[in-house]
C-alpha cells in the first residue's frame, strides 16, 4: 500500500485537535493569546481562546489601558462551554497570570477537562520572573509561587520555566548543567512528563554569544520502566528585548511535541529554529524602522508574526539540539 499511501492520507483528514488557551489579549501587538493563536492555527490546531485580560498593548509601552478578567468571569465562560457540551479539549495552554484565585480556577478547569478526556495535555508556562545581570526577581505577586508549585505544576504535562522559575519551583539553585538536570528531575517528580528550561545563564559550549535551553522528557513504558531523553539546545543570542517570545515558544512547543510525541530533540529543534527566524526578521525590521544608530522602541519590536508564517509552518532547522 506504499504507493497509495499519499492519496489515502490526503483523503483522511487528521483528527481535529483543539486547544483551550487561557492568556492575555492585546489589541495591538503580539503577546499572550495574540502570540499563541496564529502559530497554532497555522500548524493545524483549532484554538479556543479565553482572554485573561484585554489591554490596548503590552505593558512595556509607555501607556496601556484595559480590562482584567476575574476568576468568576472565567468560570462563567467555562460554564457556557460546558452547558453546550463543547468542553472537550486535547490541550490546555496557559501563560502569564497575576492573580491567585484566577490560577486556582484554571487548575479546577484543567482537572475537570482531564476527567472529560484522560489524554488531555496541559502545557503551562509558569511565568513568575527572570534574571537580569545575574539577579533574579519576581514580576508577579509572591503568593503565586505556592499556587504554581503545589497546585498547577502537579496537573501540568509540559512546563516551560526559565532558569529562575525552575529554581523558584524546586527551591534549588542552578550553577552547572548537572544541577539543571537534577532540577528537571525534581520537576518531573512533581508531575510533568516534559520539562523545558527555556533559557539559562549557563556557559554555552559554543561560547558567550549563545543561550542554552535544556529539555527533558520522561516516559513510563507499558512494562513500568522509565525512559528519560535529555537535550541541550544552544541558540544565538539576539541583542534586543522582545515581548511575547515565551508565549510563542510554548505554543510552538505544544504543536511540535504533538507532531513528534516521542522526540523532544526534533520538537525543540523546530521550535527554537522557528523562534530564531521570527526574531531575526523582527530585529532586522525594527532596526530599519528605527533608523541608523537609534534604539528600536516597543512598537517597532513587536514580533513579525504574520510575515513569518512560512517559517512557523515549516521551519528550516538552523539550530540543532544535542542529546545528553
Mean pLDDT of 23-47: 98
pLDDT of 220:
83
Closest CA to 47 of 58, 55, 56, 39: 39
- What CATH number does the domain located at 17-290+298-323 have? 3.40.1190.20
Residue 294 contacts by C-beta under 8 Å, 6 or more apart in sequence? none
Degrees to nearest 5, angle at CA 91 with 87 and 92: 80
In the structure grid, which three cell numbers stand for residue 139, read together?
514580576
Choose the catalytic residue: 90, 99, 157, 247.
247
Sign of CA dihedral 203, 145, 52, 155: positive
- Is the Cβ–Cβ distance between 236 and 218 less than 8 Å? no
pLDDT (tens digit, 9 = 90+) per residue, 72-119? Answer: 999 999 999 999 999 999 999 999 999 999 999 999 999 999 999 999
Contact 195, 223 (CB under 8 A): no
pLDDT at 12 over 90: no
Q: How is residue 78 written as a grid cell? A: 467555562
Q: What are phi and psi of 122, to 5 degrees?
A: -100, 115
**Which residues are within 8 A (CB) of 104 and not within 5 positions of it... i.e. 6 or more apart?**
71, 147, 151
Q: Give the whole-angstrom CA distance, residue 274 versus residue 278.
A: 6
Q: Is the pLDDT of residue 7 over 70?
A: no
In this structure, the number of other CB atoms found within 10 A of the CB of residue 143 comes to: 10
Taking 90 as the threshold, does the pLDDT of residue 1 lie above it?
no
Tens digits of residue pLDDT in 179-198: 999 999 999 999 999 999 99
* Res 23: pLDDT: 97
The chain-wide mean pLDDT, for the chain, equals: 94
Output the pLDDT for position 222: 84
Q: What is the pLDDT of residue 5?
A: 43
The CA distance from 98 to 144, in Å, is: 8
In contact, 279 and 245? CB cutoff 8 Å: yes
Q: What is the pLDDT of residues 36-45, one digit of tens each?
A: 999 999 999 9
Contact criterion met (CB below 8 Å) for 229 and 322: no
Q: Among candidates 97, 123, 136, which has minimal Cα distance to 248? A: 123
What DSSP element (H or E) covers 232? Answer: strand 226-236
Dihedral sign from CA coordinates of 288, 293, 298, 301: positive
The 10s digit of each residue's pLDDT in 283-323 is 999 999 999 999 999 999 999 999 999 999 999 999 999 99
pLDDT of res. 239:
85
Antiparallel, parallel or unpaired: β 194-200 and 210-220: antiparallel
Q: Is 108 a catalytic residue?
A: no
**Cα separation of 114 and 128, whole Å?**
25
Residues 23 and 297: their CA atoms lie apart, in Å, by: 24
Amino acid at each position: 500500500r506504499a504507493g497509495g499511501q499519499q492519496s489515502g492520507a490526503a483523503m483522511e483528514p487528521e483528527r481535529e485537535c483543539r486547544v483551550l488557551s487561557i492568556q492575555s489579549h492585546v489589541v495591538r501587538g503580539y503577546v499572550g493569546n495574540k502570540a499563541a493563536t496564529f502559530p497554532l492555527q497555522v500548524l493545524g490546531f483549532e484554538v479556543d481562546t479565553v482572554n485573561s485580560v484585554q489591554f490596548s498593548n503590552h505593558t512595556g509601552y509607555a501607556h496601556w489601558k484595559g480590562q482584567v478578567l476575574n476568576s468568576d468571569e472565567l468560570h462563567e465562560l467555562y460554564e457556557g462551554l460546558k452547558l453546550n457540551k463543547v468542553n472537550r479539549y486535547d490541550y490546555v495552554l496557559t501563560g502569564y497570570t497575576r492573580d491567585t484565585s484566577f490560577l486556582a480556577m484554571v487548575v479546577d478547569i484543567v482537572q475537570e477537562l482531564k476527567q472529560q478526556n484522560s489524554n488531555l495535555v496541559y502545557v503551562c508556562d509558569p511565568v513568575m520572573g527572570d534574571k537580569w545581570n545575574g539577579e533574579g526577581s519576581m514580576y508577579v505577586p509572591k503568593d503565586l509561587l505556592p499556587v504554581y508549585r503545589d497546585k498547577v505544576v502537579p496537573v501540568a504535562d509540559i512546563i516551560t520555566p526559565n532558569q529562575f522559575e525552575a529554581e523558584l519551583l524546586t527551591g534549588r539553585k542552578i550553577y552547572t548543567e548537572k544541577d539543571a538536570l537534577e532540577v528537571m528531575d525534581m520537576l518531573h517528580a512533581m508531575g510533568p512528563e516534559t520539562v523545558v528550561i527555556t533559557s539559562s545563564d549557563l556557559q554555552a559550549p559554543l561560547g558567550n554569544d549563545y543561550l542554552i535551553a535544556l529539555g527533558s522528557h520522561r516516559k513510563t513504558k507499558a512494562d513500568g520502566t522509565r525512559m528519560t531523553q535529555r537535550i541541550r539546545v544552544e541558540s544565538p543570542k539576539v541583542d534586543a528585548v522582545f515581548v511575547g517570545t515565551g508565549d510563542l515558544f510554548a505554543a510552538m512547543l505544544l504543536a511540535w511535541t504533538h507532531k513528534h510525541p516521542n522526540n523532544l530533540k526534533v520538537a525543540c529543534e523546530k521550535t527554537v529554529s522557528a523562534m530564531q527566524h521570527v526574531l531575526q526578521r523582527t530585529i532586522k525590521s525594527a532596526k530599519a524602522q528605527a533608523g541608523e544608530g537609534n534604539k528600536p522602541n516597543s512598537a517597532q519590536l513587536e514580533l513579525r508574526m504574520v510575515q513569518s508564517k512560512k517559517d512557523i509552518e515549516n521551519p528550516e532547522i538552523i539550530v540543532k539540539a544535542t542529546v545528553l
